[in-house]
Amino acid sequence: MSDSNLATLAQIAETSWGVSPSSPVYTLKRFTKQTMNYAKETVISGEIRPDRQIPDVIQVGYSALGGYEFEVSALDIQLLLQNAMFCTPLVINLPAISVVMGGNTITGSAGAFSAIVAQQRIRITLTTVNDGIWTVSSVSSNGASFTVAEGSLTSYTGTATFAATIFRNGIVRSSMAMELCPAPGNYINFTGMMVNTAKFTLEAKKIALGTVDFIGSIVSSGSSTKSTGGAYLPASTNPIMNCSSNVGRLWTNGAPFTTGIKMMTVEIQNMLRPQPQVGSLSLFGVGLGQFKVTGQLQLYFKDLTVYNEFIDHTPTSLSALLTDANGGGLSFTLPRVQFDTGKVDVPGVNTDIMEDFAYTATYDPVTGMTLQISEM
């Protein structure tokens, strides 16, 4: 019964903190490791006894802590991203509308693109010649057209579809309930789970990886699932993304990097804090802290361009796009970052000279955000 290959992990959006839908249907999640647990807090009695023994251990509180690790695939982590970014996602789904494409502009009817926002990524299909993921530079005031940033479009007149789900950091509180089944007929349930940290790692010759950690409310266990009728929505089957063939584009300051990138990370920290209360072992709530985004960047040394940005403390931007064989994508856009530390090492003979940087993303006054994550 201790075989890890039989374990499942499922989750569902809560209607409010710690409250699941009345007829919940959980979605199974793809994961490689999980560490969620019942975090019991105890205090050892300080009573002095002449026999030197401890009279009691008193439970004074509990919460749900821990998280899970996963291999990144498109359209599989939308609920996670919504919770990590504390936002309401912007969903774009424009099926088969008539357009004219040419230069760097896509034109439709008035208002056709009014929901699209500048700097977002969008997936275009049905055209054949311009199918793919593009970055929106600007949108016309009447929503009839928008421009793209990646060069010229092939001239095209016909129909096209446009799709994307955009997550930009915000202040919308959301939480999820999670169910771990370590073996058939054994269920551990976690409620009020809020994303404290999330990290994405893109490293050469490896699979794109993600980790997430939560602070939650209540942990319970039992012999039956909480999913209505024992039914689950299946996990996605989209291809797992690697960092060799699936990382299509990396930009700094709006232009492609001119050197190779060996590793890049994006780490979200929501600075959550548990709020204990008198009269109950459970938490009163979870406090929301500052939204902090940091990361690491390792480059093959080519010239001093990036290193000078570090020395001069010059803000720049970072952007990465992963795509899979099905045309799906996941992108990260950090419109304003500053390098906190940087170094150029010459480690020895027969080695590569590398540049290593640590960065912090900050509020961008143009877009009003710190981080944008798009799923297409």
**pLDDT reading at 361 higher than 80:** yes
- Predicted confidence at residue 34, as pLDDT, reads 96
pLDDT bin (cut points 50, 70, 90) of residue 255 is confident
- Predicted confidence at residue 248, as pLDDT, reads 59
- Predicted confidence at residue 283, as pLDDT, reads 92
- Predicted confidence at residue 251, as pLDDT, reads 85
Q: Tell me how far apart the terminal alpha carbons of the chain are, to the nearest angstrom.
A: 39
Q: Is 103 exposed, middle or buried (0-12, 13-18, 19+ CB in 10 A)?
A: exposed
- Predicted confidence at residue 151, as pLDDT, reads 76
**pLDDT reading at 327 higher than 90:** no
Q: Are 94 and 112 spatial neighbours (Cβ–Cβ below 8 Å)?
A: yes
- Predicted confidence at residue 3, as pLDDT, reads 85
Separation CA 332–CA 349 (nearest Å): 35
Q: Is 128 exposed, middle or buried (0-12, 13-18, 19+ CB in 10 A)?
A: exposed
Q: Where are the domains of the chain?
A: 4-36+59-87+171-375, 90-168
Separation CA 190–CA 326 (nearest Å): 34
Answer with the residue of higher pLDDT: 199 or 74.
Answer: 199
Question: How many CB atoms neighbour CB 310 within 10 A?
Answer: 21
- Predicted confidence at residue 239, as pLDDT, reads 95
Summarised one tens digit per residue, pLDDT across range 190-212 is 999 999 999 999 999 999 999 99
pLDDT (average), residues 50-61: 96
Average pLDDT in the chain: 94
- Predicted confidence at residue 1, as pLDDT, reads 60
Distance of CA 33 to the CA centre of its chain: 17
Kindly report the pTM of this predicted structure.
0.94
Summarised one tens digit per residue, pLDDT across range 214-252 is 999 999 999 999 999 999 999 999 999 999 887 756 888
Summarised one tens digit per residue, pLDDT across range 125-154 is 999 999 999 999 999 999 999 999 977 899
Separation CA 114–CA 97 (nearest Å): 14
Query: Any residues with CB less than 8 A from the CB of 297 and at least 6 apart, and which?
Result: 261, 263, 264, 265, 318, 356, 357, 358, 359
Does 1.10.287 match the CATH number of domain 90-168?
A: no
